[in-house]
Structure 1
Amino acid sequence: MASRIQEKKHLSFNSLRKSLSQHINASTDSRKSSASQYAHHDVVMSGFACMYFQDPSLVQFQQRLETSRGRNNLQTLFNVHQTPKESQMREILDNLSSESFAPVFKDFHEKLRRHLHLKEYEILPNIIMCVIDGVQHYSSKSISCKCCLHKTHKNGDKTYYHSVLQGAIMHPDKRQVLPVMPEAIKNGDGKEKQDCEINAAKRFVNRLYKAHPRQKFILGGDSLMSRQPLIEDVLNKNMHYLFVAKPTDHVYMYEWLEAFPELPTTEYVDEKGKTHRFYWQNNVPLNGGADAIKVNYLEYQQIDESGKVTFKNSWVTDIEITDKNIIKLAKAGRCRWKIENECFNTLKNQGYNINHNYGHGKENLSFNVYLLILLAFYFHQIFELTDGAYQVCRKRNGSKRYMWEQLRSIITFAVFETWNELLAVVTDPDEFESSIIKKS
């Protein structure tokens, strides 16, 4: 029985939901009291519930359920007192400061850290890895705002879009990725030059440090990030870095490396006969400038039984490389793909639908909807990591997609007092049938 599995109370649905509610209530409601038909909390939590159950029409279905049953699951599960209409929900979310959500990400991170769940994510002793990458979450050829980025096509048409620089904590051996508060990539008032990932990365580093000043991070990223100004920003915040370094982006550094007769090397052969070979060199100039910083270079090659190199990648870092840590560092560098596969791909194609047009608004609607989706994803990642009942429910339903289809279906005609009660019903349908008989 899912309901009988011991849960970790500090990371249970109820605990996380209460924490989210507290932060929403603590944020500023800029609306005039005469226009505040719906409580600030009810609007945000209703929007979050839609993303949590991956159903844009959830509020509408719950209003129908309230009409027939006198109450609904928004009230029992999300502590919503008055269910807002969809149009009003969009308007209020549009005017909400996106910074209101930053304390939620910080709080969840601290809950995981305090109860030692982040120990599983340590790449090196007391150091965890946060990978950053950009992702687009809104696009239109006609609707835009002052913050929109834009791309002009060859035929003169423009595409307007919103993007963020997303960070996520990850580990080569962990399937779950843990998002942190992203940095919006957006144009500012009066600025002719568009915002970009590298500028957003500088702001992200500052935000991450302010949120978690005592946490030791390795910041991971693609070759775009392995530039001296960003590296200096990372080091100034007492963080480490592990950035991809392509030969085409770092010609001087690779010429410098080629001057060595040979580089330190280690390798091993796995059970399938593949050779995993690692090269490194410490104290290498990143570029040919007089003030060039020194970096430590590592390269990984995967070689098949015939001697053909089937995969190759290289990185730069500030961490001194030895034969004792190079395999760990290379594995950490390779796990950067998880932000694309386990995070962005999941958000796009596994029910969260970040590319769905939930509305653009005039101020913050697009980014706030993305943040609500990201928080829903964060809830689910925490449950996959720590919640036995959730894990059993997933296993018995075969796939995440089918499990959520079941959950969405059931909450359209039945009201549940707790999240665990709902999970128990999906895990054990026979119990649900017997409970219906008892209530009838």
Structure 2
Amino acid sequence: MVGSFRQRLSSLPDKRTGKNTRYGMEDAALSAFSVFFTQTPSFLSYQRMMAGSKGKSNAQSLFGVHRIPSDNQIRDLLDAVAPEQVFPVFEEILQVLAEQGQLEGFRSVADTLLIAIDGTEYFSSSRIHCSNCSTRTLTSGETHYFHSVITPVIVAPGQAHVIPLVPAFIVPQDGHDKQDCETAAAKRWLMQHGERFSPLKVTVLGDDLYCHQPLCQQLLDQHLNFILVCRPQSHTTLYEHLEGIDIPTLTTKRWTGKIEETYTYRYLNGVPLRDSHDALLVNWCELTVTRPDGKVTYKNSFATNHPLSDENVAEVVLAGRTRWKVENENNNTLKTKGYNLEHNFGHGKQHLSSFLATLNILSLLFHTLLELLDLKYKLLRSHLPTRKTFFDDLRALTRYMYFDSWDHLLTFMLEGLELDIPPNTS
């Protein structure tokens, strides 16, 4: 994949003119990517020293970087590159996973793939800003600048992995005076990518922000299913319709290992999503989890286009609850588990912030790809106690030793753990 990635990056637009092109655009992009992939802010500094002393470096052998630019050169070269330039890499990796049968393990309700959509903020400052920043005015009157992004991911109940998909950045849109927002970005993402996912049989998951008729109708028009959080405060018409009706109810018991909890499901098909003559009819369901002492530990409700019954309401609710993985397994991982998405690696004047964020998300996707398909990588990660241990070891080894390939590095680590070496599947 590194070779394919480098080939894709070699076609990045280059703002330079004349002969001042010592560093290729692919070298700049791969250098930035290597920092995110290794979770080592000083990775390039280490590799420059190694290249100086040994005449070779892991930046070249592991990431295909022919010449390592300085940090400032990287920022300057990549500032003019829109993140859309590397979006095809997400598609290529998804295609590989599909061909290897890996997506089948993510199928859930009605044999559909679950795509959870959520927005997250990854940069904020009262001083640093660019032409693509969003703004908010504080109570003090001060203007605050920030960047945010929609991060769709494939998720599944019981799956330890999530598969990041092409993001959608919330940025000023040409011809629009109104500031861009999360729902508008989600609609753009669906317009651009919905047709691609429709043949895969998809159910889109989202919070209450997305549970409104225009977006639900857009999903249906693109032959996509949905399970969206549906709160009483924002859907008064729907909940008024539920009043005075004998709502079908299903009750089950579940043992937590300490206590037996009661799961109470209520559901009703064909309720109006809004107060209008053309209101979309959706299917509503609710789960309340109660402890033996009567304390409610969970309560939430969802709107869906999947027909509901005693046989499938628990599965639909479980799928709806799985949307939390986009926050915990994806966004939280990117922010707090070493990828440092919120760190300002460089802001620039045009696209640098969003381009670097895209490379960061791609680095998580590459690690997911390896965990799903590479036997050596999978074995290594399963035998190291924590994610942190793996990256600490990777950081130390690549700082002091040269490896001519990823296979060489992974084999060295496995031999150090005295594990049987599986065949090379990278």
Q: What is the percentage of aligned positions where both structures have the same residue?
A: 33
Q: CA deviation at 1:56?
A: 2.3
Q: Is residue 2:182 matched to residue 1:175?
A: no
- Measured against aligned partners, the alpha-carbon deviations of 1:253-299 in whole angstroms (never above 9, x if no partner) come to 00101130x21122221234111121111110011111111001011
Q: Is residue 2:317 matched to residue 1:330?
A: yes
The structure-2 alpha-carbon separation of the partners of 1:233 and 1:31, relative to structure 1 and needing over 3 Å to count, comes to: farther
Q: Is the Cα contact below 8 Å between 2:12 and 2:26 reproduced in 1?
A: no
Bigger RCO of structures 1 and 2 (CA < 8 A, at least 6 apart): 1
Q: Map 1:332-371; keep pairs closer than 5 Å.
A: 332-371=319-358
Counterpart of 2:308 in structure 1 is 321
The structure-2 alpha-carbon separation of the partners of 1:107 and 1:126, relative to structure 1 and needing over 3 Å to count, comes to: farther
Q: Is the Cα contact below 8 Å between 1:393 and 1:426 reproduced in 2?
A: yes
Deviates most, 302-311 or 67-76:
302-311
Q: Is residue 2:294 matched to residue 1:307?
A: yes
Q: Is residue 2:263 matched to residue 1:263?
A: no
Distance between the aligned counterparts of 1:376 and 1:213, measured in 2? 26
User: Secondary structure at the residue paired with 2:403?
Assistant: coil
Counterpart of 2:262 in structure 1 is 275
Q: Map 1:6-405; keep pairs closer than 5 Å.
A: 16-189=1-174, 191-260=176-245, 262-272=246-256, 273-405=260-392
**Amino acid of the residue matched to residue 408 of structure 1?**
R
**Amino acid of the residue matched to residue 114 of structure 1?**
E
Q: CA deviation at 1:34?
A: 2.4
User: Secondary structure at the residue paired with 1:411?
Assistant: helix
- Measured against aligned partners, the alpha-carbon deviations of 1:343-376 in whole angstroms (never above 9, x if no partner) come to 1111111100011111110111000110111011
Distance between the aligned counterparts of 1:274 and 1:115, measured in 2? 39
Q: Is the Cα contact below 8 Å between 1:221 and 1:244 reproduced in 2?
A: yes
Q: Is residue 2:413 matched to residue 1:426?
A: yes
The structure-2 alpha-carbon separation of the partners of 1:74 and 1:160, relative to structure 1 and needing over 3 Å to count, comes to: same
Counterpart of 1:8 in structure 2 is none
Q: Is the Cα contact below 8 Å between 2:132 and 2:351 reproduced in 1?
A: no
Distance between the aligned counterparts of 2:250 and 2:18, measured in 1? 68
**Amino acid of the residue matched to residue 68 of structure 1?**
S
Q: How many residues align?
A: 415
Q: CA deviation at 1:300?
A: 0.9
Distance between the aligned counterparts of 1:346 and 1:244, measured in 2? 23
TM-score if structure 2 supplies the norm length? 0.94
Deviates most, 363-372 or 377-386:
377-386
Q: Is the Cα contact below 8 Å between 1:360 and 1:366 reproduced in 2?
A: yes
Distance between the aligned counterparts of 1:309 and 1:385, measured in 2? 37
Unaligned runs of 5+ in 2: 419-426
**Amino acid of the residue matched to residue 169 of structure 2?**
A
Q: Is the Cα contact below 8 Å between 1:106 and 1:211 reproduced in 2?
A: no
User: Secondary structure at the residue paired with 1:60?
Assistant: helix
The structure-2 alpha-carbon separation of the partners of 1:210 and 1:48, relative to structure 1 and needing over 3 Å to count, comes to: farther
User: Secondary structure at the residue paired with 2:192?
Assistant: helix
Distance between the aligned counterparts of 1:259 and 1:385, measured in 2? 50
Q: CA deviation at 1:26?
A: 4.0
- Measured against aligned partners, the alpha-carbon deviations of 1:165-205 in whole angstroms (never above 9, x if no partner) come to 11000001101110101100012356432110110110011
Deviates most, 103-112 or 264-273:
264-273
Q: CA deviation at 1:241?
A: 0.9
Distance between the aligned counterparts of 2:162 and 2:80, measured in 1? 30
Distance between the aligned counterparts of 2:221 and 2:98, measured in 1? 23
Q: Is the Cα contact below 8 Å between 1:72 and 1:415 reproduced in 2?
A: yes
Distance between the aligned counterparts of 2:10 and 2:311, measured in 1? 49
Q: Is the Cα contact below 8 Å between 1:286 and 1:294 reproduced in 2?
A: yes
User: Secondary structure at the residue paired with 2:266?
Assistant: strand
**Amino acid of the residue matched to residue 252 of structure 2?**
Y
**Amino acid of the residue matched to residue 345 of structure 2?**
Y
Q: CA deviation at 1:73?
A: 0.6
User: Secondary structure at the residue paired with 1:248?
Assistant: helix
Counterpart of 1:11 in structure 2 is none
Q: CA deviation at 1:380?
A: 1.2
Deviates most, 315-324 or 268-277:
268-277
Q: CA deviation at 1:125?
A: 4.6
- Measured against aligned partners, the alpha-carbon deviations of 1:75-123 in whole angstroms (never above 9, x if no partner) come to 1111221111111111111111211111111111111112210001111
User: Secondary structure at the residue paired with 1:291?
Assistant: coil
Distance between the aligned counterparts of 2:43 and 2:19, measured in 1? 27
Deviates most, 357-366 or 77-86:
77-86
- Measured against aligned partners, the alpha-carbon deviations of 1:195-239 in whole angstroms (never above 9, x if no partner) come to 101101100111222444522211110000001111111111110
Q: CA deviation at 1:340?
A: 0.9
Q: Is the Cα contact below 8 Å between 1:146 and 1:188 reproduced in 2?
A: no
**Amino acid of the residue matched to residue 103 of structure 1?**
P
